[in-house]
Amino acid sequence: MVKVERRIRVHRDGRVLEALALFDTGSRRSYLSKGFAEKIGYEPYGEPKEVPLAVRDELWQACGRRDSLHRG
């Protein structure tokens, strides 16, 4: 098994937040620590929501959102 770890930068509101990311091409999911998610403005949902993907008949279980992506 190949394991790829890299430091990443997330740009948010003029700030740059750094984190160590593990890239796994065989994974079906991505994960964030709760602390990092809060720093980038991630808001968890109470229950996962199904979101249709561009791939025909495929759904994704969304478990939260970034606040700046949903401003009207």
Kindly tell me if the per-residue pLDDT of 71 is higher than 50.
no
Rounded CA separation 62/12 (Å): 21
Instruction: Supply the pLDDT for residue 66.
Output: 62
How many domains does the structure of the chain reveal?
Answer: 2
CB 59 within 8 A of CB 48: no
- The range of the structural domain enclosing residue 49 comes to 41-72
Rounded CA separation 31/16 (Å): 19
The CA distances from residue 35 to 3, 40, 52, 65, in Å, are 23, 9, 28, 15
Higher pLDDT, 53 or 8: 8
Q: Is the model's pTM score more than 0.85?
A: no
Q: What is the pLDDT of residues 16-69, one digit of tens each?
A: 999 888 887 777 777 778 788 888 887 788 888 888 888 778 887 777 776 544
Instruction: Supply the pLDDT for residue 1.
Output: 64
